[in-house]
Each structure stands twice: as structure tokens, then as C-alpha cells.
Copies of this chain bind each other. A is one copy, B any other.
Amino acid sequence: MKRIGIADTTFARYDMAAAAVDELKKQGGGFTVVRYTVPGIKDLPAACTILFDLERCDIVIALGMVGRQPVDKDCALVADYGLQMAQVQAGKHVLGVMVHEDEATDEREHAINCYDLLFRPEALRKRAGTGQREGFADAGPVRVK
């Protein structure tokens, strides 16, 4: 039984975690969800470290919403660096960070990526180099050589 952590924030304007959990369950079984809500995005890196160290999670989906104020961009960058530290220190993945208020939602995509990393790495392998990207229509493969 794998343990999937979901870290979200009270700052977000809708329940991003519910959509992620919903999508995870559609993908199949074999996992438990540990949900952890923190005040804002800069609290997510510590939340991930806690989910890895104390809750023994195998992977974490971190769901933050970035505001429109100029200072929010700096917050998001600081949180992003913190999440890199958390991942490298734990040697485990954190997926799905920092949805901007004006971007399309992508919790479901991150949930699928999470499930694939844990249970279906060959699915990611098959999609390697196909231009799948977040928040925009897929660009599709270019022809090379």
C-alpha cells in the first residue's frame, strides 16, 4: 500500500485537493491519501517534508494557488525553491505546484502523473517526448531529423 500525501492551502479559492483525490481514485487502488492543509504556499515545503518524514508518504501532490499581486510571484518562487530542497533531501517527488489564478486548472493531470509515477512508470515512459504540458493545449511532437 503506497501513501500519497496531498498538501494544500487555505489560501486557494476552491478545494483543489478534492479534485486531485477524486482523480486519483479513478486511476485505480493500492494507495492511501494523507491530506495536510497549511495556510499558504510558502508553508508547502515544510508540509511536504513532514508528509515524507512523519507520515512516511511515498510521493506528495502539493497544490498551491498563486495570487495576482507582484509579491505573490516572489512567494511562489521561494516556495518552488523550498520544494526542490524538500524533494532532493527526501529523494522523493512532489508534484503539481503553483497554479496561477489565471491558468487552467490541472489537478487531475497531476493526480494522473502521481499515479503513473507510483504504479505505471511505463505509461510516462510511453509519453516521453510527446510534448504534453500543463495549462495549455498539448503542443504535440515536432519532427526532428
- Residue numbers of A with Cβ under 8 A of B are 8-18, 35-40, 42-43, 45-47, 49-50, 53-54, 67, 69, 71, 74, 77-82, 84-89, 91-95, 97, 100, 105, 110, 113, 117, 121, 124-125, 127-134, 136, 139-144
Query: Across the interface, do A45 and B88 meet the contact criterion of CB distance under 8 Å?
Result: yes
Chain B positions within 8 Å of A128 at CB level: 8-10, 12, 15, 17, 37
Q: Identify the closest chain B residue to A12 (Cβ).
A: B129
Q: Identify the closest chain B residue to A79 (Cβ).
A: B84
Chain B positions within 8 Å of A100 at CB level: 71
Query: Across the interface, do B84 and A125 meet the contact criterion of CB distance under 8 Å?
Result: no
Most chain B C-beta atoms within 10 Å of own C-beta, residue among A12, A39, A143? A39
Chain B positions within 8 Å of A77 at CB level: 74, 78
